[in-house]
Structure 1
Amino acid sequence: MRDAYVVGAGQTDFGSFPDESYRSLFATAVDRTLASADGLCRGDVDEAVVGTLGVGGRQLGLSGPAVTEFAGLSVPTTRVENACAASGYAVRNAVQAVKSGMADVVLAGGYEVMTDASDDATKYWLGVSGETEWERLTGTTFAGTYAQMARAYLDEYDDATVDDLSRAAVKNHANASENPHAQLRFECSLDDATDAATVADPLTLYHCCPTTDGAAAVLVVSEDVAEDHSTLDAARVAGVGAASDRVGLFERDTYTAIPASERAAESAYEMADRGPDDVDFAEVHDCFAIAELLAYEDLGFCERGDAPALLRDGVTERDGRLPVNVSGGLKAKGHPIGATGAGQVAELWKQLTGRAGDRQLDGPEVGLAHNVGGSGGAAVVTILEGDADREGKR
């Protein structure tokens, strides 16, 4: 089976954009992606895979072809809906198409507009992407679900504290302050995060990601295309893994792990012939602060119960041994549901090709993206490697 490469990526700013539509946001992401892929144009794209939840009723109709046609791509388009993991799965589908030989150039991306609906409407559309009958219709929100996970974690591991949740938030806000695309580009202190208003005990406002508008895309190509265009900056898709699980938290055996993340990571590591110790940096799904701590453990970065120590010791800081969420993560970069997974892979590509600007890490070679749907009903993990044998144009 042939190799697949990411050779371009782009995203909009993440935030609130009342003058934009989901079509115009996605078109901007496509423009930026193609501009970053020197030598390739719209006419080279064979097909597109796009992810979105469809907040505000955009689940209805053919929103996939609607965005690609508006962006000037008259190609077969598949829409993927896997809650917050939608465009992570879109990237996986693109990789499958390229590796199988069905296509040579595939655009994968995602989009979401979340700020043009009322709070009640937004909560409804977010809610029905989770376990509807036994969780959402009984009044449980996603914040409430992750709060149950956080409380279970704090109870199971005596050394863990609310301040550890806050440390993840403080780190990601500091990282977002260096990211021009981030929604919350301001720093916060440990006291700011811990003492903020409670959203769902023990989670405070600073432990929760914002609602966000935005779009992101990446260009996945075959080995032949990458070789034929020597000016492209290419990162090899070393591994990609996906897994599903019970949608309802109450249906699972544990509240202090996301088994789908663990299984997706195992598959990605096996495909890449690598392990957690080989990862130089990661973008993980921190929709709530507890989710970042669980990700450290699910992805094998540490043993169960040791995630707080990674934060306290600075291991996952931008200058630490394993930087996590250098983009600011969902917590501070923003979380436009359908765009998040593609945005994570875009960050990997930028870091591996030296395009990350003020937040650029020092010579990373292996990056991992971790994208979760709902409270863990779906997960996808993507591993990219910098291509040391090819000289790209930066």
Structure 2
Amino acid sequence: MDAYVVGAGQSAFGSFPDESYRSLFETAYTQAAESAGLVPSTLSDRVDEAVVGTLGVGGRQIGLSGPAVTEHVGLDGVPCTRVENACGAGGFAVRSAVQAVKSGMADLVLAGGVEVMTDTSADTTKWWLGVSGETAWERLSGTTFAGVYAQMASAYFDAYDADPEAMARVAVKNHANGARNPKAHLGFECTLADARDAPTVADPLNLYHCCPTSDGAAVVLVASETAAAEFDDAVRVAGVGAASDRVGLFERDTYTSIPASRTAAEAAYEAADIGPDQIDLAEVHDCFAIAELLAYEDLGFCAPGAAPDLIERGVTDRDGDRPVNTSGGLKSKGHPIGATGVGQVVEAFDQLTGRAGDRQVADVGRALTHNVGGSGGAAVVHVLEADR
């Protein structure tokens, strides 16, 4: 049984002191319903299940945080499950929605994600981000989230004798895309010099190599084939793959790849009966610029060590042969942890249905989303196809 995305919406990503996690979720929910041609207040009679991804930065509503946001939009009678897989929570929420539909247990499922990250101190937020690694041996020994990815970057550029300027090129590309996205947290362009010469955060990562901490929410509606027939736009979920790995970077066999991403991608390609060369557009997890470079290789877009050449040749630019992160990615669009993976699916849906506005890429028939938890403790990949 096939599953289809029939509606998608998201709030702006950014810093919103006057918003709550409930109000941000309501914005995304309303947009998702309206994009599907539905009246939001009537969805309680249509939605069979809800899945919400969130980490819970700042400690707010740790228990029943899923039902807390779905009740706010009138879905208090609908079964709701909260999913937590660090930065991959949203992508795994979408996967759970797809599984519910493909199992035959539901005809219409809401998959959402929400996070508020800017109303706590920098130290508190850094602590919450750190627990997505191996707490005892990474976080409590003083290693920050940026520090973990800095180790990966150092290992990569040493292993392949590559120029770290490739990370600056990722930032320039994603900011150029984000400048076209009215919902992006950092919606401005930057120069190569800006991205190359910014203050160091964790060597070799600098400020422009790191995504912001953001508030935001995203929602998609996943339907069965029967239910999808009534909607004007339906994007088929052609393949899903997921994997987990050792949570601590130091426990893995490699620092220059994220094995969970490779495994998840292989499973998604196999389910969709395609290869990586058949992907027209991708939204990948670029929490740090090095993560996007690793994703190119782990997703099979190029050989190991070839990612710097791929970005330098413009292959992943919006007008390149395989655009990546047309939304601006985590780097420019923002990274409200629980919402990120769902937001990637929103961008894929908009591109596949011609709704992406100034970011629209011509002739997109197949898109991929790639969402990672922590430094690679979990990963999920979706392949989506334009159905009509």
TM-score (norm 1): 0.96
The answer to whether the Cα contact below 8 Å between 1:260 and 1:378 also exists between their aligned partners in 2 is: yes
- Aligned mate of 2:156, from 148, 153, 158: 153
3-state SS, counterpart of residue 135 of structure 2: coil
Q: Which runs of 5+ in 2 are unaligned?
A: none
- The answer as to 2:189 corresponding to 1:184 is no
C-alpha distance in structure 1 between counterparts of 2:188 and 2:128, whole Å: 28
C-alpha distance in structure 1 between counterparts of 2:74 and 2:126, whole Å: 33
User: What does the per-residue CA deviation read over 1:368-391, in whole Å, with 9 as the maximum and x for residues that have no partner?
Assistant: 000000000000000000013xxx
Displacement of 1:38: 1.6
C-alpha distance in structure 2 between counterparts of 1:73 and 1:153, whole Å: 46
Instruction: Tell me which residue corresponds to 1:295.
Output: 295
C-alpha distance in structure 2 between counterparts of 1:129 and 1:289, whole Å: 18
C-alpha distance in structure 2 between counterparts of 1:80 and 1:290, whole Å: 26
- Aligned mate of 1:129, from 129, 132, 136: 132
Displacement of 1:126: 1.2
User: What does the per-residue CA deviation read over 1:60-91, in whole Å, with 9 as the maximum and x for residues that have no partner?
Assistant: 22111000000111210000000000010000
C-alpha distance in structure 2 between counterparts of 1:225 and 1:349, whole Å: 17
Instruction: Tell me which residue corresponds to 1:391.
Output: none
- The answer as to 2:201 corresponding to 1:202 is no
- The answer as to 2:90 corresponding to 1:87 is yes
**Structure 1 segment 134-283 matched on structure 2, within 5 A:** 134-158=137-161, 160-227=162-229, 229=230, 231-283=231-283
C-alpha distance in structure 2 between counterparts of 1:267 and 1:342, whole Å: 19
Displacement of 1:128: 1.3
User: What does the per-residue CA deviation read over 1:227-261, in whole Å, with 9 as the maximum and x for residues that have no partner?
Assistant: 2x1x4200000000000000000000000000000
The answer to whether the Cα contact below 8 Å between 1:39 and 1:232 also exists between their aligned partners in 2 is: no
Instruction: Tell me which residue corresponds to 2:108.
Output: 105
The answer to whether the Cα contact below 8 Å between 1:258 and 1:298 also exists between their aligned partners in 2 is: yes
Displacement of 1:58: 2.6
The answer to whether the Cα contact below 8 Å between 1:64 and 1:79 also exists between their aligned partners in 2 is: yes
C-alpha distance in structure 1 between counterparts of 2:224 and 2:163, whole Å: 47
C-alpha distance in structure 1 between counterparts of 2:80 and 2:140, whole Å: 33
* AA matched with 2:131: V
3-state SS, counterpart of residue 285 of structure 1: coil
C-alpha distance in structure 2 between counterparts of 1:104 and 1:305, whole Å: 44
Displacement of 1:292: 0.2
3-state SS, counterpart of residue 210 of structure 1: coil
* AA matched with 2:46: D
3-state SS, counterpart of residue 133 of structure 1: helix
* AA matched with 2:55: L
C-alpha distance in structure 2 between counterparts of 1:232 and 1:221, whole Å: 13
Moved over 3 A (4+): none
Instruction: Tell me which residue corresponds to 1:318.
Output: 318
- The answer as to 2:81 corresponding to 1:78 is yes
* AA matched with 2:180: E
* AA matched with 2:240: V
Displacement of 1:59: 6.0
Instruction: Tell me which residue corresponds to 1:115.
Output: 118
Displacement of 1:39: 4.4
* AA matched with 2:175: H
TM-score (norm 2): 0.98
* AA matched with 2:218: A
User: What does the per-residue CA deviation read over 1:273-312, in whole Å, with 9 as the maximum and x for residues that have no partner?
Assistant: 0110000000000000000000000000000000001111
C-alpha distance in structure 2 between counterparts of 1:3 and 1:149, whole Å: 38
Q: Which runs of 5+ in 1 are unaligned?
A: 389-394
Count residues in correspondence: 384
- The answer as to 2:288 corresponding to 1:285 is no
3-state SS, counterpart of residue 27 of structure 1: helix
C-alpha distance in structure 1 between counterparts of 2:308 and 2:132, whole Å: 29
The root-mean-square deviation of aligned C-alpha atoms, in Å, is 0.8
* AA matched with 1:63: S
- The answer as to 2:373 corresponding to 1:373 is yes
3-state SS, counterpart of residue 321 of structure 2: coil
Instruction: Tell me which residue corresponds to 1:48.
Output: 50
C-alpha distance in structure 2 between counterparts of 1:263 and 1:365, whole Å: 23
Instruction: Tell me which residue corresponds to 2:28.
Output: 29
Identical aligned pairs, as a percentage?
A: 73
- The answer as to 2:86 corresponding to 1:65 is no
C-alpha distance in structure 2 between counterparts of 1:386 and 1:200, whole Å: 41
Instruction: Tell me which residue corresponds to 2:18.
Output: 19
* AA matched with 2:385: E
The answer to whether the Cα contact below 8 Å between 1:104 and 1:225 also exists between their aligned partners in 2 is: yes
The answer to whether the Cα contact below 8 Å between 1:53 and 1:59 also exists between their aligned partners in 2 is: no
The 10-residue stretch of structure 1 (33-42 or 104-113) with the greater mean CA deviation from structure 2 = 33-42
3-state SS, counterpart of residue 263 of structure 1: helix
C-alpha distance in structure 2 between counterparts of 1:184 and 1:61, whole Å: 31
3-state SS, counterpart of residue 236 of structure 2: strand
Displacement of 1:353: 0.3
C-alpha distance in structure 2 between counterparts of 1:6 and 1:127, whole Å: 33
3-state SS, counterpart of residue 135 of structure 1: helix
The answer to whether the Cα contact below 8 Å between 1:218 and 1:345 also exists between their aligned partners in 2 is: yes
